[in-house]
C-alpha cells in the first residue's frame, strides 16, 4: 500500500497543478508566431514560408513603409493577423539611438494612447478589421515614467498586449486565465536555430499551454534569425500539426476564452 501511495504521489507531482486550455482537435499546445516592426525581410521570407506551409502568423506593424502598404494588405487578405506596434516605435533613449521626439521619455500615457489609436486607423485601412491586438515596443510599458497599459486597457483600443518575456509556469497556464494585457512571449534572434524554437514549443506541449514566439528580422534586417532556420522550424510545425495548433494570437486567445480548462483546484 505504501508503495502504491508513493507511486500515486509521484504521478500527481508530474502533472500540471492546473489543467491548461483544451486546444482544437486534441492538440497538446497552441503555437503563435509573432513578428515585430513591419520589416521587409518578413515580407520577403517569413510570409512566403508560412504561406507555403499553410500556417498563419501575427505581424505587429510600426514604421510602415509606403511601398509596403499593398503587400501588408495582401498579407491580411491571406488570413494573417496584423497588430498594433505604435506608429513610431518609441523606446527608452538608452535602448538605441532615436529622434528625441520618439523616445518614451518624451511621451505620456495619453500621447502613447493617441498614437496607438491612430495606428489602429492604418490597420483597419489595411485589413478591414475593427479589433486589433498590440505589442509593446521594446517590451516597455512606461511612457514618461508612468505605466500606460492600465490606461490603454481602460481605453478599450486593443484586445490584448503582448510582452517580450515568459516563465515556465506561463507555458503551462490556462490561457483563458492569463491577463490579456500581459501576454507572455519569448524572443528569437541572431544565433538561435530551429532546435531552440522546437524546444520552446515542446515545453508548452508538456504543460498544455501556449507558446508565443517573437521574431524581428528573418533572413535580413535586425535581430534576425536565418531564413533557413526559420523555414526548418515552420516545416517542423507543419509536420506536427496533430500535436500543436498554430494560430494567430487573436485566434488563440479567442479560442481559450471560449474553451477554458477546468477551474483550478482549491
**What structural domains does the chain harbor?**
24-258 (3.20.20.370)
Tell me how far apart the alpha carbons of residues 266 and 22 are, in angstroms, rounded to a whole number: 20
- Give every CB contact of residue 116 below 8 A, 6+ residues apart in sequence: 84, 86, 134, 152, 157, 158
Q: How many residues does the chain have?
A: 266
- How confident is the prediction along the chain (266 residues), in pLDDT tens digits per residue? 444 333 333 333 333 444 479 999 999 999 999 999 999 999 999 999 999 999 999 999 999 999 999 999 999 999 999 999 999 999 999 998 899 999 999 999 999 999 999 999 999 999 999 999 999 999 999 999 999 999 999 999 999 999 999 999 999 999 999 999 999 999 999 999 999 999 999 999 999 999 999 999 999 999 999 999 999 999 999 999 999 999 999 999 999 999 987 765 54
Burial (CB count within 10 angstroms: exposed 0-12, middle 13-18, buried 19+), residue 117: middle
Q: What is the DSSP string of 122-151?
A: HHHHHH--S---EE-GGG--EETTEE-HHH
CB-facing half-sphere around the CA of 150: CA atoms within 13 A: 2
- Give every CB contact of residue 187 below 8 A, 6+ residues apart in sequence: 164, 213, 214, 215, 216, 223
Tell me how far apart the alpha carbons of residues 195 and 40 are, in angstroms, rounded to a whole number: 25
Tell me the whole-structure pTM to 2 decimals. Answer: 0.92
pLDDT of residue 260: 85
Instruction: Give phi and psi for 202, each to the nearest 5.
Output: -65, -30
pLDDT of residue 96: 82
Buried b (16+ CB within 10 A) or exposed e, 222-242: ebbbbbebbbbbbebbeebee
pLDDT of residue 207: 94
What is the pairing mode between strands 146-147 and 142-143? antiparallel
List beta partners, residue 209.
none
Amino acid at each position: 500500500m505504501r508503495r502504491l501511495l508513493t507511486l500515486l504521489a509521484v504521478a500527481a507531482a508530474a502533472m500540471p497543478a492546473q489543467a491548461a486550455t483544451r486546444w482544437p482537435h486534441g492538440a497538446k499546445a497552441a503555437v503563435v508566431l509573432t513578428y515585430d516592426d513591419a520589416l521587409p525581410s518578413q515580407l520577403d521570407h517569413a510570409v512566403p514560408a508560412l504561406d507555403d506551409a499553410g500556417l498563419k502568423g501575427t505581424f505587429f506593424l510600426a514604421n510602415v513603409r509606403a511601398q509596403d502598404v499593398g503587400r501588408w494588405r495582401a498579407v491580411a487578405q491571406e488570413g494573417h493577423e496584423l497588430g498594433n506596434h505604435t506608429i513610431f516605435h518609441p523606446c527608452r533613449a538608452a535602448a538605441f539611438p532615436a529622434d528625441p521626439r520618439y523616445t518614451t521619455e518624451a511621451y505620456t500615457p495619453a500621447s502613447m494612447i493617441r498614437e496607438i489609436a491612430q495606428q489602429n486607423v492604418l490597420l483597419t485601412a489595411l485589413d478591414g478589421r475593427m479589433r486589433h491586438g498590440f505589442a509593446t515596443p521594446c517590451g516597455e510599458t512606461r511612457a514618461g515614467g508612468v505605466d500606460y497599459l492600465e490606461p490603454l486597457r481602460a481605453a478599450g483600443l486593443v484586445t490584448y498586449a503582448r510582452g517580450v518575456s515568459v516563465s515556465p509556469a506561463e507555458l503551462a497556464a490556462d490561457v483563458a486565465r492569463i491577463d490579456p494585457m500581459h501576454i507572455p512571449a519569448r524572443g528569437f534572434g541572431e544565433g538561435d536555430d530551429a532546435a531552440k524554437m522546437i524546444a520552446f514549443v515542446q515545453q508548452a506541449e508538456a504543460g498544455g499551454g501556449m507558446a508565443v514566439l517573437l521574431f524581428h528580422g528573418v533572413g535580413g534586417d535586425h535581430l534576425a534569425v536565418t531564413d533557413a532556420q526559420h523555414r526548418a522550424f515552420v516545416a517542423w510545425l507543419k509536420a506536427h500539426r496533430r500535436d500543436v495548433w498554430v494560430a494567430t494570437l487573436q485566434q488563440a486567445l479567442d479560442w481559450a476564452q471560449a474553451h477554458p480548462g477546468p477551474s483550478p483546484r482549491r
